[in-house]
Structure 1
């Protein structure tokens, strides 16, 4: 499979257009279905060699057609196969009807399926195109399979998972594994779909890569291929100011740790010089813990204005443990007016909850130079309408927010989405669950700041930060603290 396609994420609508383009180009649509069904059968035999019976549940569309092909292949391999159909198989049309006819075996109604010990369920009821709640009969079967703790192999996506949003439509199978074709869909990567799809196999059924160019959108999986070329390489001529000067605003004396985590992460992630900007009352607390990070007093916008006179100070991180909403707004306005770059996190985001448009207007022109790093609650403070729209996927919320704010948005979570104002979006998948720990977000903000100050475009800077953050968590292992995470960041020029 072409490398670009391997990281591509397609909406169900885009995949449908590509399927139609493949058929229009002269490819046999039934040939594609045959390869898909054979791949499902091969996965079933490989993954479940001890199965006493394969219960193949076939739906009324092309996903059901894949199921009939798989059932025929399983039976030819000598497996015990029971096929149950949703709806009347005689009503099938097109390739699905051809697949049913080629199966030529008994097909019982779905309502007659009785789960029994030793069954492996091959779920070919609905694919990624499902956009409505499953029928009651399907929900009943899903519950019976769950009650008997039977393994499920899903075809394309577990039935009941919305392929566009990853949400459960009434009820859904929890699959041990899923076989999908050509590319993953948002439902494979967005929660809860990601958790319910199990291990996902992507099988190349033979659609040419050229057909994806005109029909695919701008969604990808976040891998180093998406941003490695934008990361500056270190050379013998580099010095600390070439690598960039990053400044991180500290909170008051009782809340300085978050800023120090961001600062140390920025230094470890590749910034040449990092300074903590501290209120006078917090200087002693910060000075007691800082060695390789510099320290400056900033108590008001006039103090900040003096620092902004140094053109080498390129990038700021504001928000971790900051606390003072009024001061945050004043500092952001000065940074924006000076044309500098900013990572706005945590309290910095919340500072604009009463007037988000005020923030967006500050960074509305030129190349994006603002990175927002909200979790769902912070996102709702800036974008309440998007957060409250149940029809939008997490990807769509992030894309719309990025366009509105003219900023790169890192919408955090176990399924973090990075979105650019131009519509590009990446979904991250390398983050382990133990990254959900105190200070983890502060570290992410510092990494993103380091990338910005080294000159990376905002989208690539954010995407690289999210990936390195996840990789650092994986290397640190379960039970990590934020300090462990910093100590396990790969050097920026050691990414393979």
Structure 2
């Protein structure tokens, strides 16, 4: 994993910086690299227009002084607001090196770009009333807002809001991504995300950011079965299964079947397998099974779920299947399984598998994966993919237009299609999540789930 893709906790980041310092790099050199890198981004936005940098007492404030001096040397119009004296040696050194204007926090200040360097990722308590008021006032007085490392008032490891914070247009992660860069509610107000690298080495066992997959086109000798056959178990709401199947057709599988009673709205290029469910699912050519979209929650639905879990193929469990699932259902299963719960379904699974639902979302997904043996795709505006072996990936904030009925069916169909091609379950889940999000980016605003499903092949094409 490239170091630029890793996501570090506050403790992991401090340890990584300590290793650099032990190797001979000074705190001042790291601060200079971070501040200069952040200044590059601010300069692109502001140029010679007025920039106001709010500097706190610690090393995040020191980064701000370095940034301000870099802007000043380039001929920019910059001032610093410093409500505190610098309290670390590196921050004091950076303040001494800054040769520009320092403005009283009570002054009437306005400009083009506001840069928040008040507190960094180590903050664990709410801002004082004075700091919160100053942050909000300065943000309001500028057209554009940039947060350095994290907006002040955010818990780096959880994404929790410790105070009221303004919305930012750009957030510059320093050294490595933090969990809050991908977690709600914090990420909703961060704007665009960019990473300023300072030489942090890869950290063993670190979470990582979801990146675009590299997908290989089928071999010249390929046919529908070698590309992967996917069976989708229908139910009382057949439209959901058809929607998932439409997405699956565009995500790589060569043969998609809807098993069970034939839906009235089945497109001509989808196959309906109306054999007894156990016979249809026992086909040795089946690369994966999807069960859940439109399944229902009655006795017949429970029987369809049991048949899917009894079959030897890997499976994806979504929607109603997750509400019917219990720990005993998975006790004897050896084939891989992927579960794709939204928040309510995640809570139901935690009750079924006796997991703590009060923890931050990444830890909840990791614990459920370890307890259940399934790959967990904890979906929503923030999406986490966790494997039973401890691997964890966080996706970028989702397109808000995905908040419409049926997009979860598209996601499960996309993941199941990647699984049917023969991919390892965690990889299939990650690729499916990325393709789903990228398809949404390709759609116009206010798209439907059907629009999204039709955009999946375009998203796949972008990965070839």
After TM superposition, the score normalised by the length of structure 2 is 0.90
Cα distance change, pair 399–340 in 1 and its aligned pair in 2 (3 A)? same
CA separation in 2, counterparts of 1:331 and 1:407?
19
Structure 1 residue 320 corresponds to structure 2 residue 297: no
The structure 2 residue matched to 1:264, chosen from 246, 255, 271, is 246
Q: For 1:58-97, list aligned pairs within 5 A.
A: 58-89=55-86, 92-97=87-92
Q: For 1:306-317, list aligned pairs within 5 A.
A: 306-317=279-290
CA separation in 1, counterparts of 2:331 and 2:83?
53
Q: Deviations over 1:269-323 (max 9, x none)?
A: 22222221234xxx3xx1453322222336xxxx322334421234211111111
The structure 1 residue matched to 2:201, chosen from 184, 199, 212, is 212
1:113 maps to 106
Cα distance change, pair 430–137 in 1 and its aligned pair in 2 (3 A)? closer
**Which one is further off, 418-427 or 327-336?**
327-336
> SS in structure 2 opposite 1:246?
strand
Structure 1 residue 495 corresponds to structure 2 residue 463: yes
Q: Give how far 1:331 is off.
A: 3.2
1:409 maps to 376
Q: Give how far 1:342 is off.
A: 1.3
Q: Give how far 1:159 is off.
A: 0.7
Q: Give how far 1:20 is off.
A: 0.6
CA separation in 2, counterparts of 1:330 and 1:145?
60
> SS in structure 2 opposite 1:151?
strand
1:156 maps to 149
2:439 maps to 472
Q: Give how far 1:115 is off.
A: 4.5
Q: For 1:255-294, list aligned pairs within 5 A.
A: 255-279=237-261, 283=262, 286-294=263-271
CA separation in 2, counterparts of 1:15 and 1:38?
19
Q: Deviations over 1:95-132 (max 9, x none)?
A: 122222333677567xx334433263321111122222
Cα distance change, pair 105–265 in 1 and its aligned pair in 2 (3 A)? closer
CA separation in 2, counterparts of 1:101 and 1:216?
37
> SS in structure 2 opposite 1:348?
helix
2:210 maps to 222
After TM superposition, the score normalised by the length of structure 1 is 0.85
2:22 maps to 24
- Paired residue total: 461
Q: Give how far 1:6 is off.
A: 2.7
2:313 maps to 340
Structure 1: give runs of 5+ residues left out of the alignment: none
The question of whether the paired residues in 1 share the 8 Å contact of 2:292 and 2:319 is answered with: yes
CA separation in 1, counterparts of 2:171 and 2:182?
12
Q: Deviations over 1:196-222 (max 9, x none)?
A: 2222332233x2xxx623x35332222
> SS in structure 1 opposite 2:2?
helix
The question of whether the paired residues in 1 share the 8 Å contact of 2:233 and 2:290 is answered with: yes
> SS in structure 1 opposite 2:277?
helix
> SS in structure 2 opposite 1:358?
helix
CA separation in 2, counterparts of 1:119 and 1:479?
32
1:349 maps to 322
The question of whether the paired residues in 1 share the 8 Å contact of 2:4 and 2:197 is answered with: no
CA separation in 2, counterparts of 1:216 and 1:159?
28
1:462 maps to 429
CA separation in 1, counterparts of 2:415 and 2:173?
33
Structural RMSD (CA): 2.6
